[in-house]
Chain A
Amino acid sequence: MSSVLHARAASAAFFDEMHADGSGAVRAHYREFHSWLAAQSTDSLSGKRAEADLIFHRVGITFAVYGDDAGTERLIPFDIIPRIIPATEWKRLEAGLRQRVKALNRFIHDIYHRQSIVRAGVIPPEQIFCNAQYRPEMQGVDVAGDIYAHVAGIDVVRADDGEFYVLEDNLRVPSGVSYMLENRKMMMRLFPELFARNKVAPVAHYPDLLLEDLRSVAPNGTREPTVAVLTPGMYNAAYFEHAFLAQQMGVELVEGKDLFVDDEQVFMRTTRGPKRVDVIYRRIDDDFLDPLAFRPDSNLGVPGLLSVYRAGRVTLANAIGSGVADDKSIYPYVPDMIKFYLDEKPLLRNVPTWQCRKKEHLAHVLAHLHELVVKETHGAGGYGMLIGPAASKAEIEAFRARLSARPDNYIAQPTLALSACPTFVESGVAPRHIDLRPFVLSGKNVTIVPGGLTRVALRQGSLVVNSSQGGGTKDTWVLE
């Protein structure tokens, strides 16, 4: 039997989650796991991985590959080595996340009401009012509890200095939480002995917290609110997650065609006639929510929904117009928001960001393209970005032309050396870069289940963790 553990590379230009810098000693919170891992053979781990794949297929935790006739369904690769975070570190992270999301909610409320942050000159008005995610329809509209981002997915990375940085805030329809839950279930099924040896904080109560959160923001005066999850349908890549959350919360999963508006209320069509809906956890972008108000060609939405919403007769989570706060052009101002609204020092760092719309920033970016990451302000999913150090000369030049043509469409950041976590790949156990998406729930209270979804770039050296670009996921442990 050969152990899966190879000798570790002597030095690395990134933070290693399992091994301490310099000495290479195993970090305290990984010690128990490491001793278990050292006793495993490659064959037994391969067997476990195959078992996991089989179960994921049977359970149907797959996403459809578009344009494939054979109806191929792909798995998001699951890595069986967990990402472990010690409780002390998590506590700091958690406090920072709470603070950040609180400020973001205050910001969105302010933007759609008094706009004091603009008046105070903290954020230039054109950054908000010329933003496609700003929804004038929401101006002056009061939403339940003044909460806009009920579910926030905050992407966090650890840089080579060992510190956590927020990479982006996802406040529209962040996804991935079902993978966090299913990954944990899978780990407990495959390796129950590990959970006996490690005190791993549980995450399975997330759907309960979500339901409580959604019920707490029902329109005023609703005693027993009816909650529903609104999905674009079974051909959406995240359909599994929509169905999963609805089932776990015990609420209806609806499509736009199941809902209709009548007499200033939203109803679902049931076998016993119309039933009123009070809270909609929508997993559809703003643009598609109401063909009468937004895109007229949308058949995913509900005609008339916006007017009911504006009248306060239904709650949408997340609120329409939340996207104004998670745009990459707004991102650089989040630390300022925290100071402005909460009068606190930001606990989590932002990645230094050059805003290409500013002349002097653009000049710097153009001169350093080969070492920067350049992103579209409205982009997502790892598309439309340039990773300077990994790009060819031709790619850089092509990007330079695009950037010069529309500088306001881009921001740039230094290429972060994302931390790496041991991962079971073809060649055995080797370090691969990871990020973390904790899910922050805001309703009457702010709650976060310990950990979140860890995404891993499976290709050696790659920094792109998105599942659309060959990324996988890991179980995330907060050790108590």
Chain B
Amino acid sequence: MLSQTADHLFWMARYTERAENTARMLDVNLQASLLPQSEASAELLWRGILGICELQPQYDARFPALAPRDVLRFMASEPSNPSSIHSCLNAARENARAVRGTLTTEVWETINSTWLELKARLRRVEADPSQFFEWVKYRSHLSRGVTIGTMLKDEALYFSRLGTFLERADNTARILDVKYHALADQGAPDVVAEGDAGRSIDFYHWAAVLRSVSAFEVYRKVYSNVITPARVAELLILREDMPRSLANCVNEVVTNLASVRNDHSRETERRAGLLQADLQYGRIDAILQQGLHAWLVNFLQRVNDLGDRISRDFLIPLATA
């Protein structure tokens, strides 16, 4: 398959996944902000969103102060923010358009319809943001479902799956790290290592994290126990049967990487395998001992490195080889 085509498929899937996860994060924040709390702690929630997306400077350049309404607009519909839902869905659609011949008609039409419908949806986002986030999630489910359900199991599918899981690994890690970012300004220590699970605000935070990755019911089912940060971290990092966990994402990356293997990709496979082993044989207490934030920062770097290596091995047109 053309390197250029693989590149478009990879990014089409990444942007679709990113739009979904941004919607998930915003929705959860919105729910959390409805809880009784001081204005200062509500503000922290929104600061956390900008922090994990590394968008605080861009936001500050665009808006004078931190206001929930503005953060929402910035993250949902702002075209100048490359990570806004608007920008992600546009990028997903432009990438799809560039390779529409490689996609099945259903995949292309689903992604195209999402983009065509977005404008009207964005006009109503402030009136009912939750409904909008719900819609983004469902469109992402649909895009992914129609991809798996209609595409030939060849490189085109594998590169798109690589994009999905690499992006999801990144996004889940960031969601786990949100609290650190919310409190970073206050110089707070690592939340999980030293946090007090008994505090109710903590309960709501970790419950919200679970909900944002559709894991609240899963948690109850798996642990049948009270919500503690350590178990939430275990579920979202190490449980291979949890579809949005880091372990599952990395497993999928390893599998799909093996399916597209070429003469250059051995080292990339080795690094992905190493990361997989760390998750497979790692223990949550060891991770927490190291400090969740520090561990996640390292994880994000490794995911980022895999992304770069995949680009170099497959996607950036190879010179004469």
Contacts and interface: CB of A to CB of B under 8 A. Distances in A.
A420 to B, nearest CB: 35
B100 A269 contact: no
B314 interface: yes
Nearest to B6: A271
A257 B317 contact: yes
Interface stretch (A216-224, A247-255, A448-456): A247-255
Contacts of B102: 247, 253
A274 B2 contact: no
**Which of A60, A254, A271 is the most central at the interface, judged by chain B CB atoms within 10 Å of its CB?**
A271
Given A60-B97, A60-B100, A268 B262 contact: no
A274 B116 contact: no
**Which of B101, B112, B260 is the most central at the interface, judged by chain A CB atoms within 10 Å of its CB?**
B101
A273 B262 contact: yes
A234 interface: yes
A212 to B, nearest CB: 19
A105 B5 CA distance: 35
Contacts of B100: 60, 243, 247
B79 to A, nearest CB: 10
Given A60-B112, A258-B3, A271-B155, A234 B101 contact: no
Given A57-B116, A271-B314, A273-B318, A252 B2 contact: yes
B4 A257 contact: yes
Given A260-B320, A268-B2, A234 B97 contact: yes
B263 interface: yes
B1 interface: yes
Contacts of A234: 94, 97-98
Interface in B256-290: 260, 262-263
B78 interface: no
B321 interface: yes
Contacts of B101: 243-244, 246-247, 253
Contacts of A270: 1-3
B109 A59 contact: yes
Taking chain B's interface residues, is the majority helix, strand, or loop, or is none over half, making it mixed? helix
Contacts of A254: 2, 4
Interface string B1-38: 11111100000000000000000000000000000000
Given A58-B116, A243-B101, A269 B317 contact: yes
Nearest to A254: B2
B318 A255 contact: no
Taking chain A's interface residues, is the majority helix, strand, or loop, or is none over half, making it mixed? mixed
Contacts of B116: 57-58
Interface string A269-281: 1111110000000
B3 A274 contact: no
B113 interface: yes
Contact of A258 (B2, B94, B109, B315): B2
A51 interface: no
B320 A274 contact: yes
Given A247-B100, A258-B317, A260-B320, A269 B4 contact: yes
A262 interface: yes
A269 B6 CA distance: 11
Interface string B303-321: 0000000000011011111
B320 A262 contact: yes
B74 interface: no
A254 B1 CA distance: 11
A58 B1 contact: no
A243 B2 CA distance: 14
Contact of A273 (B5, B97, B263): B263
A253 B97 CA distance: 12
A54 to B, nearest CB: 10
B318 A274 contact: yes
A59 B113 CA distance: 9
Nearest to A244: B101
B112 A58 contact: yes
Chain A interface: which size bin? Answer: 20 to 34
B96 to A, nearest CB: 9
A99 to B, nearest CB: 35
A243 B99 CA distance: 8
Contact of B262 (A257, A258, A269, A271): A271
Given A58-B113, A257-B4, A269-B4, A274 B98 contact: no
B108 interface: yes
Contact of B4 (A58, A246, A258): A258
Contacts of A273: 262-263, 318, 321
Contact of A60 (B108, B155, B262): B108
Contacts of A252: 2, 5
Nearest to B7: A271
Contacts of B321: 273-274
A258 B263 CA distance: 19
A230 to B, nearest CB: 12
A214 to B, nearest CB: 16
Interface in B81-135: 94, 97-102, 105, 108-109, 112-113, 116
Interface in B229-264: 260, 262-263
Contacts of A59: 105, 108-109, 112
A177 to B, nearest CB: 15
A271 B1 contact: yes
Nearest to A263: B320
Nearest to B318: A269
A242 to B, nearest CB: 8
A268 B116 CA distance: 33
A255 B109 contact: no
Contacts of A243: 100-101
A74 to B, nearest CB: 14
Nearest to B264: A273
Contacts of B4: 254-255, 257-258, 269
A58 B109 contact: yes
A271 B315 CA distance: 7
Given A260-B319, A268-B2, A273-B321, 4 more contacts: A257-B317, A258-B2, A269-B4, A269-B317
Q: Which 10 interchain pairs have the tightest Cβ spacing? A: A247-B101, A269-B317, A243-B101, A271-B314, A246-B101, A273-B321, A269-B3, A271-B6, A234-B98, A243-B100
21 contacts: A58-B109, A58-B113, A60-B100, A60-B108, A60-B112, A234-B97, A234-B98, A243-B100, A246-B101, A247-B102, A254-B2, A254-B4, A258-B4, A262-B320, A269-B317, A269-B318, A270-B1, A271-B1, A271-B6, A271-B155, A271-B260
